[in-house]
């Protein structure tokens, strides 16, 4: 049996958590993602930038009143990458 490769970008625990969250709710504000993942703001920022650079999520910087607001939303490319990752992982788990 040939194993499908696991996307190294999604194989990181924090990036996988972000993608798993966004696959269900489509978009979320940065503080909500930070709260749900328990990540530090700095680490989360770095991981979100990696996902954004890959085209898996879009990051929109806007304002809520006078406060800055960073919105993250999953892209069609991100949805497909996540689907393929889950499918590959299922292949690994269904051996035997």
Question: pLDDT (tens digit, 9 = 90+) per residue, 70-84?
Answer: 999 999 999 999 999
- Is 2 a residue whose pLDDT tops 80? no
**Other CB atoms within 10 Å distance of the CB of residue 47:** 21
Q: Which residues contact 79 (CB under 8 A, 6 or more apart)?
A: 23
- Sheet hosting strand 67-74, strand order edge to edge: 27-29, 67-74, 57-64
Confidence of residue 4 (pLDDT cuts 50, 70, 90): confident
CA–CA distance, 20 with 44 (Å, rounded to integer): 14
Domains present along the chain, CATH in parentheses: 13-89 (1.10.10.10)
Burial of 44 (0-12, 13-18, 19+ CB in 10 A): buried
- The pLDDT value recorded for residue 26 is 83
Q: What is the pTM of this model?
A: 0.90
Q: What is the pLDDT of residues 18-47, one digit of tens each?
A: 999 999 998 999 999 999 999 999 999 999
């Amino acid at each position: 049996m040939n194993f499908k490769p696991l996307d190294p970008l999604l194989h990181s625990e924090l990036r996988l958590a972000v993608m798993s969250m966004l696959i269900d709710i489509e978009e979320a504000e940065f503080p909500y993602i930070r709260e749900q993942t328990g990540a530090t703001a700095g680490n989360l920022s770095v991981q979100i930038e990696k996902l954004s650079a890959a085209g898996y999520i879009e990051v929109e910087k806007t304002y809520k009143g006078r406060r800055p607001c960073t919105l993250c939303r999953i892209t069609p490319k991100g949805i497909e990458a996540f689907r393929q990752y889950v499918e590959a992982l299922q292949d690994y788990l269904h051996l035997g």
